[in-house]
Amino acid sequence: MEIKRSVLVPYSAAAMFDLIEQAEFYPSFLPWCTSAEILERSDDWVGARLEFTYLSLRFTVRTRNPKRRPEWLQVRLVEGPFKQFHGDWRLSPLADQGCRVSFDLAYQFSEGVVDQVAKAALGRIFGSVVEAFVKRAEATLTPLVAAVTGASAGSAGSPNSPPG
């Protein structure tokens, strides 16, 4: 199964990268992520254990993810009920307007682990990942254009400001 999503957001690539990389906060905004624990974190790696629950489907994965802030983060399975699981987050700055966030995921459950209902549930879970991060960004981050506008609005009318 493959999922590819891409979205333009009015937030910096660094801010979006941090939102994606900080898995310990996933349970607060991913409704189907019920538990998250960071196992290791460095400039080059982040490892986590995540528990997912959706309808009757419940599973835990452990990942060790190479990363280069703020450009990309690769999701690599160490342990879990998948025969295949590779995710790639890519963040591309768009000048001072925001960034493009791309997420590609290829996964396949191990044989005999899930039925068709669970496969449909997984498609729904993984298909909604990017949208969930966008909603979290909207709730927690300041858009770049608003930050620039707010900064220039704050200096407008100052006697020392150069004419606009």
Which pLDDT tens digit goes with each residue over 120-135? 677 777 778 889 999 9
CATH number at residue 143: 3.30.530.20
| Structural domain boundaries enclosing 75 | 2-149
pLDDT of residue 154: 41
pTM, to two decimals: 0.82
- Beta-carbon contacts of 109 under 8 Å, excluding residues fewer than 6 positions away, are 81, 82, 83, 118, 119, 122
> What's the total number of domains in the chain?
1
* Residue 150 in this model has a pLDDT that exceeds 60: no
pLDDT of residue 152: 45
Whose structure tokens read 């707010």? Answer: 150
pLDDT confidence tier of residue 117, bands split at 50, 70 and 90: low
pLDDT of residue 140: 96
Specify if 82 maps to a domain. yes
Which tokens hold the place of 121? 């549930």
Residue 84 CB-density burial (10 A; 0-12 exposed, 13-18 middle, 19+ buried): exposed
Instruction: Please state the rounded mean pLDDT for residues 16-34.
Output: 96
